[in-house]
Amino acid sequence: MALSSQRQVQLKLKYMIIVTGAAGFIGSCLVSKLNNKGIRDIVIVDDFSRGDKANNYNSKAFLEKVERSRFFEWIKSHSKETEFIFHIGARTDTTESDMSVFEELNLGYSRKIWNLCSENGIPLIYASSAATYGDGFLGYEDTNDLIPRLQPLNPYGISKNEFDKWVLQQNVRPPVWFGLKFFNVYGPNEYHKGRMASVIFHAFNQINASGKVRLFRSHRPDYQDGKQLRDFIYVKDAVDVIYFLYEHRRDPGIYNLGTGKARTFHDLACAVFHALNMEPVIEFIDTPADIRDKYQYFTEARMDKLLHTGYSRPFHDLEDGITEYVQAYLQSHRYY
């Protein structure tokens, strides 16, 4: 059936893609992925006041840069032109204890974006987190019935889970939507993250400074030092999944985004040494007191739900991802 002329006009108008958090780690890598796919009609949204994040987006192709604080005023005159919103921006500091910060940025801001997409028929992908799973006692199954029962260990995880819970209660929704529970993402463009950067980033810097890596000692009898486990996912794999869902536009819901295979911090440290052609030298230190009782000893994404959508691209294994990250990016301070 031929499209009505009005619908044809609507489709023609909807050409811009919006990426929030575009100056950050995953957001800037997503912009690179879109550019690599030939997409240039991108509006990047963030708090652009930090100069140390500028290299994450300066070399990217985009239409406009919009400050996070004025985005909702700006979108009033641009919603009809907006094809898709990737809401990657968030406060991600797991050591932040002021819940009001998360209430504003991770809950209030995200609800406004959800409502904007719902009211204007704009598809949405937003960032959730594996921090929602807490200590993992209830498992890592990305089913809707588990979400209200989860007990995150810190305000960041609480804020992400509260938004997931709120989303599932909504009757009015975007035409297509996906929430992604990112597990431990690592890779280029995290130079600005400080304490919250990946263990790979810190291990690389420690080796350069001292020739050794410091890992957290285990404070539980059922885990040996350095044998705490995480599901580490290379950022290029994460944005591949995001782009797949952008094109897929079916099977809306909340999905895990990890590799489905947990690895130890000891494995990680050895892989960084190997990428540098060095023998491993590992020292164990106490987990900082401010995060010790909130520390996850095991995370591993159940990936069946994503695989059932038809996603079939293999993930980098830990050694291959770390080798590329170290040799192609960290050693030359390159950006993706």
Tell me which residues are annotated as active site.
Answer: 156, 193
- Tell me the two tokens of residue 172: 């009015």
Q: How does DSSP classify residue 31? A: H
Give the three-state DSSP class for 125: strand
- Residue pair 45/19 in contact by the 8 Å Cβ criterion: yes
CA atoms within 13 A on the CB side of 132: 32
Q: CA 40, 41, 42 angle in degrees (round to 5)?
A: 95
Q: Which helix (H) or strand (E) holds 236?
A: helix 235-248
The rounded distance, in Å, linking the Cα atoms of 158 and 107 is 10
Q: Which helix (H) or strand (E) holds 19?
A: strand 16-20
Residue 60 Cα to chain centre, angstroms: 19
The rounded distance, in Å, linking the Cα atoms of 155 and 100 is 9
- Residue pair 83/17 in contact by the 8 Å Cβ criterion: yes
The rounded distance, in Å, linking the Cα atoms of 212 and 182 is 29
Instruction: List the beta bridge partners of residue 257.
Output: 182
The rounded distance, in Å, linking the Cα atoms of 190 and 222 is 32
- Tell me the two tokens of residue 30: 């997503």
What residues have CB less than 8 Å from 228, skipping those under 6 apart?
216, 218, 264, 265, 295, 296, 297, 298
